[in-house]
Structure 1
Amino acid sequence: MTSFRKHLFIGMAAFSLGVGSVASLAQTPDGGPMGDHGNYGERMKEHMAKRAAELHDKLKLNAEQEKAWNAYMDKVKPGEPPVRPDRGELDKLTAPERMERRLAHMKEAEKRMEQHVAATKEFYAVLTPEQKKVFDEAFRHGPGSGRHWYGGPRR
């Protein structure tokens, strides 16, 4: 009888563990299927707006510079993210064709960066030497000033 009880106890324990694991798989995370990354775009826009407002306050712009600031912000505003190509379509391409697609994407990104640099130079020209120091410090380490936009250290 001891052997039967032992097997019964082990069977019930295994059953309860199985039921518990199935129940936990049925639950979705709070952020939906993408977890916390589902609203990444919105959080990034909020972060960029916050950083821009902080920089604006630090620069202490005069009325003439304010016009240049507004023009600068309009020019560096991020556009729509590129549309991801269909995975099935990419699988049909040869390796050189996929490389050409990547190269075209990189050229588009380079064109956007050139426009961003031109807009930055245009705005930078209207700043005083003190304001230029503040601006330089804000962009010393590139976007995020050496930190990820969510506040964690870079690795």
Structure 2
Amino acid sequence: MKLNKLAPLALGGVLIAGTMASAAAAQQPQGAPAQAGAEARRGHGEWRRPDPAAMAARRADHLRAALQLRPEQEAALKAYVGAAQSKPMMPAPGARKKFAEMTTPERLDAQRAMMTKRLAAFDERVAATKRFYAQLSPTQQKAFDTLQQRGGKHGMRDGHGGHGPRR
């Protein structure tokens, strides 16, 4: 019986809250709700691709400090960081449409060409890493080995920081 007496009060509270929310929304300028919602979803604003040069500089600074590099090793570090910097392998604009229009043998040849290009880039990074490694003292080599085991330039340590837990 008490519940029946409280129902009109609860309904009135809901109506008042709804009216207040409508009034608040009407006071915002046109387009503001969409922008405010988008900003809230993004957090700190629009995502931008990291600057490769800035990332390479941070990597060099990290290696310089972690390995305690000597001044005569600076040239080897610059060569290593420059070669180890990943080159974008993004397809050219309109490549999907072009790829879809290819026959199966043509697509396979295009895939092989892309794999060959990626393998060549990998080989460049391997050679640069080996040249840099050869310039390091045995103590520095040990430290470099430890850095690479912990995830190298991607920062994945102990299985965290990637696309989910490592199993």
Say yes or no: TM over 0.5. yes
Match of 1:74 in 2: 82
**CA distances 1:39-89 after superposition (whole Å, capped 9, x unpaired):** 1243x6544432331121111111221222122223333345444351221
Q: How many residues align?
A: 132
- Is 1:58 equivalent to 2:66 in the alignment? yes
Given candidates 105, 121, 125, the residue that maps to 2:130 is 121
Q: Name which of 75, 85, 97 aligns with 1:88.
A: 97
CA separation of 1:74 and 1:110: change in aligned 2, threshold 3 A: same
Q: 1:153 to 1:46 in 2, by over 3 A?
A: same
RMSD: 3.5
CA contact (8 A) 1:90 1:98 kept: yes
- Assess, with a 3 A threshold, how the Cα gap between structure 1 residues 29 and 104 changes in structure 2: closer, same or farther: farther
Identical residues among aligned pairs (%): 32
Alignment partner for residue 154 of structure 2, among 119, 126, 144? 144
Partner of 2:10: none
Name 1:40's counterpart in structure 2.
49
Q: CA deviation at 1:98?
A: 1.8
Q: Is the 8 A contact 1:76 1:119 kept in 2?
A: yes
Say whether 1:130 aligns with 2:139.
yes
Paired with 2:131 and 2:70, the residues of 1 have a C-alpha distance of 16
Q: Secondary structure at the match of 2:38?
A: coil
User: Do 2:56 and 2:81's aligned partners in 1 also have CA atoms closer than 8 Å?
Assistant: no
Unaligned runs of 5+ in 2: 1-14, 16-21, 23-30
Structure of higher CA gyration radius: 2
Tell me, which stretches of 5 or more residues in structure 1 are unaligned? 1-8, 10-15, 17-22
Q: Measured at CA, do residues 62 and 26 of structure 1 come closer, stay the same or move farther in structure 2, by a change above 3 Å?
A: closer
- 2:112 aligned with 1:107, yes or no? no
More off after superposition, 51-60 vs 71-80: 71-80
Indicate conservation of the 8 Å contact 2:77/2:132, yes or no: yes
Corresponding residue for residue 18 of structure 2: none
